Amino acid sequence: MKSTSLQCSTILLLTAFLFTGCASTINLKGSWSEDALQSKLEEGNNLILVKVNDRNARYVLEEQFKVRLAEKGIQSETASIKFPPLDPNKKTTEDQVSETAQMFKSENIDLVVLTTLKEIDQTVHTQTSGGYYAGGGYYAPPYRRFSRYYYSYYDPGVYVPLSSTTSVSKNYHLETVVFDLNGNENEQLLSVTSVEVKDPGNIEKVAAKYAQSVVDRILGSE
């Protein structure tokens, strides 16, 4: 069994549900994988499944996982293409999930690489400026004459109005797990990788970096 400690790296983002904005950051929070994971992925029929609300984001991320795994010599299929009617976000009972697993197995799927959005944190940042006088100062002529000294004065300058700007940052907590559908019911988990994505941006770039980071980690390339 292989375990890894908490780490941080940089990047990420995903669209309407998960995709807007500026520079994004990907923090790898933790990862664990069975030693046999890579060989099982190399030998098995693998399905990539992403549970996010935005269909385009789901499709792009699934495709990126397929591409990154293929670069490692591992073939896979995406749920968006192989099972287009499947809605992974629909609320289901445990029995219905079992039926879905049986459907996968009937299509000769051995391993499922599943990515899920676990939580979204939102932070509001407010920056205040102004509320003071600028450009002022104390002005005084030479001290030798009373009238001139008396003429001295303090110029408060120009008042800069108080203003504030507010921005919102969002942290998306994602988790990618790998399950062996052929394993015993309580022993199917092969890998767990937790990632925090801050302020996601361009979907293609973020999805590519996320998939690359996770695949490198679960296969021990990082």
Question: Domains of the chain (ranges plus CATH)?
Answer: 2-125+169-218 (3.40.50), 126-164 (no CATH)
Three-point CA angle 173, 109, 191, nearest 5°: 35
Partners of 47 in beta bridges: 77, 112
Residues 6 or more apart whose CB falls under 8 angstroms from that of 164 comprise 126, 127, 128, 129
Per-residue pLDDT of the chain (222 residues; tens, 9 = 90+): 443 333 333 223 333 334 334 456 878 888 899 988 999 999 999 999 998 888 888 999 999 999 999 999 999 999 999 998 888 888 888 888 888 999 999 999 999 999 988 877 777 777 887 777 676 666 666 655 555 555 555 566 777 787 878 777 778 888 999 999 998 878 899 999 998 888 766 677 788 889 999 999 998 865
Phi, psi values for residue 27, rounded to 5°: -115, 120
pTM summary value: 0.69
Work out the angle at residue 57's Cα, subtended by the Cα atoms of residues 176 and 214, and round it to the nearest 5 degrees: 25
Strands (E), 18-68: 25-33, 46-51
